[in-house]
Amino acid sequence: MQKSKAVFNWSGGKDSALALQKVLRENQFEVIALLTTFNEADESSSAHSVPLELMKKQAEAIGIELYPIFISKLPNDYETKMLKAVQDFKEKGVAHFIFGDLYLDEIRKYRESKLNPHGIEVVEPIWGKTAEQTMNDFLNSGLKAKIVTTQADKLDESYIGKEITKELIDNLPAEIDICGENGEYHTFVYDGDIFRKKVDLEIIEASKLSFDIKLDSHEVYTYEYWQAKFG
């Protein structure tokens, strides 16, 4: 039976890797690309601020081509370039975009509203479990991940570079979603059975980044993050 062609919307983190592992094991789709958006200014991934070169190494180790999209700060640039990517992939016979979302309905509805009108079906392999179930699945998957970004007001710089283990998860502050689904932390996966070879990952320090977001009320809110610096 011929497998359906699909694009995996790839963050490089633990949930993406867990979803990709499930897809590859079930063997229903031919994943032809790992689509990742990057900030055009510094070529770091939009989701986790991982450098392009490290994301390329990760994709190469997995054995699936990285499809980078570079997003500027121009109005509607994200929508314009994503639409072009959808059109390019449709010409290659792709009818499915796969995501590693967990349980935030508004995210899934947004994806479906943008992709379904273009004939692209949204696939969510690890959707609908509790945070505890999803984390247990990851801890039992054999995949290896380290924390590379944290919200500074949620988790301090000591968490940067820490391995995702049961001990770490059991000792997270009570208010933290253990999967980081609210953005409390992000990870980079570097080893496991989806990899042909282990990705060399060296984190040399943590640096604090600040971003000012202007709200509809014209108030400016400052978000601060701890970010890994890679060797």
Whether residues 157 and 217 share a domain: the answer is yes
Whether residues 153 and 84 share a domain: the answer is no
> Which of 123, 140, 175 is a domain's end point?
123
Rounded CA separation 162/146 (Å): 5
> Which of 123, 150, 184 is a domain's end point?
123
Q: Which residues contact 178 (CB under 8 A, 6 or more apart)?
A: 131, 132, 135, 169, 172
Whether residues 117 and 135 share a domain: the answer is no
Whether residues 19 and 116 share a domain: the answer is yes
Residue pLDDT, tens place only, 9-28: 999 999 999 999 999 999 99
Q: Residue 87: which domain range?
A: 4-123
Whether residues 102 and 173 share a domain: the answer is no
Question: Average pLDDT of 163-175?
Answer: 97
Q: What is the pTM of this model?
A: 0.92
Domain count, the chain: 2
Whether residues 119 and 136 share a domain: the answer is no
Whether residues 65 and 112 share a domain: the answer is yes
Residue pLDDT, tens place only, 152-161: 999 999 999 9
Pairing of strands 121-123, 96-98: parallel
Whether residues 89 and 33 share a domain: the answer is yes
> Which of 68, 100, 123 is a domain's end point?
123
Rounded CA separation 132/178 (Å): 7
